[in-house]
């Protein structure tokens, strides 16, 4: 039995918006799980249901073997870091950290040493007597972390805790959060719409879209074996190149043709034997997705020929933009590539890195 279990969790707001539809999720003790999804997909709603701040419309939440679905927030033994930090402005840093401990009826001495301990970890010892108004955003954020850390809760929730920090601070606090998790092993659910953040932090990523879970998996799985078209579109900067094509077989080679034959472009995907079981999709429409870094280029060889339209050098890598099937595809190459605009090239694609998605269900088509 897993540590935290969400059973077909559903939330419909009074105004009729169903923000979360049937979520099933199991989380092990000590895991760092990141819920990732675009804005408005129901991440915050899910988290708020876990915290008890939003009533559950349907389904149940089991934490450590106890059904907490309808318990008030204070009885759930959960800590939370809010997007706005929610440190109380009328209390000093020390009082902020001590407040939850006082509510837990700890004695003065224990509270004092606990405050000192977490303040040291979060590096805010010098600010204990200051009010939040006298702190910078990053320091306030650490106060919020310290406050959550001080209560040894069963579950730690974080709703985009880094989104109010500037880019540089964000990466350093990210490292700091990961370090804390490594030391405490607290079961954590972290919500974000930033995939870089998700990939850097997560033991497991839960990709959400429109109130539903699209895919659950490790960073590697989510990135390389997208379970659905949405994940392929959502993950990666730049995201995967995607085109709706119809497949044909030509002399043992798998060819993707433009769905609306205007451009007359056809892409050779390689030996059909690399796609076992593809037979039933021959002649059918299908979504084709290839990540920019999985495309290479070579001298024009009369196959998959196209011309380079834009070159964006990024220092460590170069992004090329070319027209494939009439739409812009991005190619990501390591290093600083010397290439000019208008140059003709052939695209080289590793068949193993091609992702195909069913045109109807938009789920991954697996070959194995």
Partner 1 sequence: MSMRPGKLWSRTVFLLILATIASTVILPILYFLTISFASNYEAYQFPAKIFPTFSYSAQLRYNAEKDSYTLLLKKGSTYEAVKTTQDVSDFSLYCKSQLNVLLSSAAVQELFNKAKNTDHALPIKLKKDFFRNYIVFFILAEGSMCALFNSLKAAGWTILISLILGGVSGYIMARYKFKFSNTFSTSLLVVRMFPAVALSLPLVVYIMKMNLYDTSFALAIVYAVPNIALTAWITSSIFKGISVELEEAAMVFGATRLKTLMTITFPLAFPAIIASSLYAFLAAWNDSITALIMTNNNPTLALLVYRTVGSSTIPNLPAAGAVVLLVPSLIFTFIIKNYINQLWGKVAL
Q: Contact between 240 and partner 1 (CB under 8 A)?
A: no
As a whole number of angstroms, the distance between CA 318 and CA 70 comes to 53
Contact pick of 51, 111, 128, 278 for partner 1 (by CB under 8 A): 51
Question: Helix, strand or coil for residue 315?
Answer: coil
Partner from Mg ion, ligand ATP, partner 1, none binding residue 45, C-beta < 5-8 Å depending on class: ligand ATP
Sign of CA dihedral 360, 361, 367, 368: negative
Contact pick of 31, 34, 44, 96 for Mg ion (by CB under 5 A): 44
CB of 197 to partner 1, least distance (A): 21
CB of 43 to Mg ion, least distance (A): 5
Contact pick of 6, 25, 31, 42 for ligand ATP (by CB under 6 A): 42
For residue 25, which of 212, 268, 276 has the smallest C-alpha distance?
212
Nearer to partner 1, 103 or 303 (CB): 103
Q: In DSSP terms, which residues pair with 311 in a beta bridge?
A: 320
Could you tell me how many residues of this chain bind ligand ATP (CB under 6 A)?
13
CB of 82 to Mg ion, least distance (A): 10
Q: Contact between 55 and ligand ATP (CB under 6 A)?
A: no
Contact pick of 45, 228, 246, 322 for ligand ATP (by CB under 6 A): 45
Q: In DSSP terms, which residues pair with 308 in a beta bridge?
A: 322
259 contacts 296 by C-beta, under 8 angstroms: no
CB of 56 to Mg ion, least distance (A): 18
240 contacts 226 by C-beta, under 8 angstroms: yes
As a whole number of angstroms, the distance between CA 241 and CA 334 comes to 18
User: Of residues 136-195, which lie at the interface with ligand ATP (CB under 6 A)?
Assistant: 193
CB burial of 294-307 (b: ≥16 within 10 Å; e: otherwise) equals bbebeeeeeebebe
Cα-to-chain-centroid distance, residue 97: 30
For residue 202, which of 3, 80, 32 has the smallest C-alpha distance?
32
CB of 159 to Mg ion, least distance (A): 6
Q: Contact between 104 and partner 1 (CB under 8 A)?
A: yes
Instruction: Kindly list the residues in this chain that would bind ligand ATP in the complex (CB under 6 A).
Output: 13, 15, 17, 19, 37, 39-45, 193
Instruction: Kindly list the residues in this chain that would bind Mg ion in the complex (CB under 5 A).
Output: 44
């Amino acid at each position: 039995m897993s540590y935290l279990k969400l059973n077909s969790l559903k939330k419909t707001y009074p105004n009729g918006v169903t923000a979360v539809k049937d979520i099933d999720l199991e989380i092990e003790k000590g895991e760092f799980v990141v819920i990732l999804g675009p804005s408005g997909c129901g991440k915050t709603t899910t988290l708020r249901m876990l915290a008890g701040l939003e009533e559950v419309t349907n389904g149940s939440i089991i934490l450590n073997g106890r059904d907490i679905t309808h318990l008030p927030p204070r009885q759930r033994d959960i800590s939370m870091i809010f997007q706005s930090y929610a440190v109380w402005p009328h209390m000093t840093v020390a009082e902020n950290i001590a407040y939850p401990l006082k509510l837990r009826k700890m004695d003065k001495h224990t509270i004092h040493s606990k405050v000192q301990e977490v303040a040291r970890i979060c590096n805010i010892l010098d600010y204990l007597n200051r009010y939040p108004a006298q702190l910078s955003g990053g320091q306030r954020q650490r106060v919020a972390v310290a406050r959550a850390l001080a209560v040894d809760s069963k579950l730690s929730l974080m709703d985009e805790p880094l989104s109010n920090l500037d880019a540089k601070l964000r990466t350093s606090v990210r490292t700091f959060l990961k370090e804390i998790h490594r030391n405490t092993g607290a079961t954590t659910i972290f919500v974000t719409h930033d995939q870089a953040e998700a990939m850097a932090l997560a033991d497991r990523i839960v990709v959400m879209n429109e109130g539903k879970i699209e895919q659950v998996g490790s960073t590697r799985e989510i990135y390389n074996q997208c379970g659905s078209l949405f994940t392929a579109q959502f993950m990666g900067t730049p995201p995967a190149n995607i085109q709706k094509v119809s497949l044909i077989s030509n002399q043992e080679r798998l060819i993707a043709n433009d769905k609306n034959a205007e451009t007359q472009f056809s892409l050779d995907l390689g030996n059909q034997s690399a796609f076992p079981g593809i037979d039933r999709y021959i002649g059918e429409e299908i979504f084709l997705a290839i990540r920019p870094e999985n495309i290479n280029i070579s001298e024009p060889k009369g196959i998959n020929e196209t011309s380079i339209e834009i070159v964006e050098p990024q220092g460590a890598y170069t992004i090329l933009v070319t027209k494939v099937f009439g739409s812009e595809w991005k190619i990501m190459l390591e290093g600083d590539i010397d290439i000019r605009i208008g140059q003709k090239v052939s695209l080289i694609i590793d068949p193993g890195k091609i992702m195909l998605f069913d045109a109807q269900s938009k789920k991954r088509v697996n070959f194995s």
